[in-house]
Every structure is written in C-alpha cells, then in structure tokens.
Amino acid sequence: MGPDRRLLILCLALSVVSVALTVSVPVILGHTTDLIVRGAADGGVDFARVGRVLAVAAVLVVVSASCALARGRLAQDIGQRTAFRLREQASAKLTVLPLGYLDRRPRGDLISRLTNDADTILVMEAGCIVEQGTHEELLEADGAYAHLYEAQFAQAASLSA
C-alpha cells in the first residue's frame, strides 16, 4: 500500500463524498415536496424557491456522479500501477535466479506458475474472499463477480445506446 497510500486515501475520500451527496439528494427532494404541499395548502406555490432547491439537488447529483467517476478512474489507475509493480518484481526475481535453479525445473514451470497466479481473480466482500478463479470460471459460477460484471456492462451498454 506504500506507494499508492495517498491515492487510496483520495479514492476513499471521493467515495465518502459521493455517497454522502447521493444520500442527501432524496432529503432535498423531500424538502421540495414539502414546499409544494405547503404552498398548495396555503394557496400559492413559490416556484422560484422550488426551482432553487431543485437546482441545488441537480448540482449535488452532478458533483456526486463526478466524484464516483473520479473514484472509479483512480481505483483503475491504482490497480494498473499495482499490477505493473508486481510484473516488475516478478521479472526482477526471475533475472537474479541462479541458472542451476532454472536447469532443475521443468521447462515452463516458472512461467506457468507466474501466469496461473496472474490469471487468478479474488472477489472480496466486507474484507473476505468470497470467490476465486479465472474470469471465465467466475462468470460460469454466476456469483458476485458475474453479477458485478453483468451490471457494469449493462450500464455501459445503456450509456452507449
């Protein structure tokens, strides 16, 4: 976590802001409903005030979505940096192994170990590993990973349509 500590903290902060704003929007919309109901009961709705409250809600939605988008991009960057560092470390380890060690191992054993471990996906919920496997295996299992994958691409498909 060392090199990406600040980015992880920023990612967490963006998540907190996004969730807080998302949760506050229904409260504001409830206030708008109260204004309309009170205005209808009193004989006149203050549409200028209702418009201002709705504008605030719209700004909060946009800021919340922007924070969520930034958090997603940041999390993706952190993941890519971590994978790059792991590949560099694996490469550095392989370059310093003695030739005798490499000669005693079956051809491809080391590369097979590296690629098998690199293809393994761990799915975590609440800090616990709930699924483990390759992309294809996890999709076939139709568990949490498959549902997240389908939700992500259903959202992407709806955005592109």
Q: Is 139 within 8 Å of 149 (Cβ atoms)?
A: yes
Residue bearing the bigger pLDDT, 65 or 111: 65
For the chain, the straight-line distance linking the first and the last C-alpha, in angstroms and rounded, comes to 38
Question: Most confidently modeled of 27-31, 84-88, 128-132?
Answer: 27-31
Alpha-carbon gap, residue 71 to 14, rounded angstroms = 6
- Name 53's Cβ contacts closer than 8 Å, sequence gap at least 6: 28, 31, 32, 35
- The reported pTM is 0.58
For residues 125-132, average pLDDT: 78
- 147-159 residue pLDDT tens: 888 887 766 656 6
Please provide residue 45's backbone torsions phi and psi, each rounded to the nearest 5 degrees: -90, 130
Mean pLDDT of the chain: 83
6 token code pair: 């600040």
Q: Is 11 within 8 Å of 74 (Cβ atoms)?
A: yes
pLDDT at 130: 84
For residues 58-77, average pLDDT: 91
Alpha-carbon gap, residue 96 to 115, rounded angstroms = 19
